[in-house]
A and B are shown apart, each in its own frame.
Chain A
Amino acid sequence: DIQMTQSPSTLSASVGDRVTITCRASQSISSWLAWYQQKPGKAPKLLIYKASFLESGVPSRFSGSGSGTDFTLTISSLQPEDFATYYCQQYTSHSRTFGQGTKVEIK
């Protein structure tokens, strides 16, 4: 199975900060990567698909990049509603594995 590794596991930041989360695949997944946001007690929400395509309705401060094995999610200016846990997910194989998550906390 393809393993997905996110870093960092926890990130402390302030409102207005530029935030970057990294996701690394154990083998090439081309651009078949998605990013989700999950708030406590809520279902995940799709943010980015195919590495860099913004889901409809998602604010433009979110962006994704990368291909092959290395990917990033960037929040250009962190807003109060962005404090949450973020997951990457590969979808090149039927195992469709998730990363372990990155919690973005208030500094």
Chain B
Amino acid sequence: EVQLLESGGGLVQPGGSLRLSCAASGFTFSAYAMSWVRQAPGKGLEWVSATTDNGDASYYSDSVKGRFTVSRDNSKNILYLQMNSLRAEDTAIFYCARGAYCSSTTCIFDSWGQGTLVTVSA
């Protein structure tokens, strides 16, 4: 069974940093692209970042580019999201998601974690 377990969320002040982790199990982690998707309270879904299966390429939404960095450790089956210069508008549940059914450029998400809440507030 595919399992994705996020951790690392919490309360952080504006301008602060936080690192999220997503521990994967039940599948060959190194064979899949992975993404982070967030959802602000009461709002819709927003794709944040993605990385290829071997981590050699990363992609970001315009809203986080230059502030967030995605990485992965395929030896430990863990996906990371380093978030710097956090803003109030980054407050959201952050989900990690497995990529699947890819087009020539990108993938959708066939498995999701339960999410971790990040709150940016003074």
- Which residues of A come within 8 Å of B, CB atoms? 1, 32, 34, 36, 38, 43-46, 49-50, 53, 55, 87, 89, 91-101
CB of B110 within 8 A of CB of A46, answer yes
CB of B106 within 8 A of CB of A91, answer yes
Q: Is B109 an interface residue (CB 8 A)?
A: yes
A94 to B70, CA, bound (A): 15
CB of A91 within 8 A of CB of B103, answer yes
| Residue in A38, A55, A92 whose beta carbon sits within 8 Å of that of B110 in the complex | A55
Max chain A Cβ within 10 angstroms of own Cβ: one of B50, B59, B103, B105: B103
**How large, as a class, is the contact surface on chain B?**
20 to 34
A79 to B113, CA, bound (A): 25
Among B11-19, B24-32, B41-49, B78-86, the stretch in contact with A? B41-49
Known interface pairs A43-B114, A98-B47, A101-B44; A93-B108 also in contact (CB < 8 Å): no
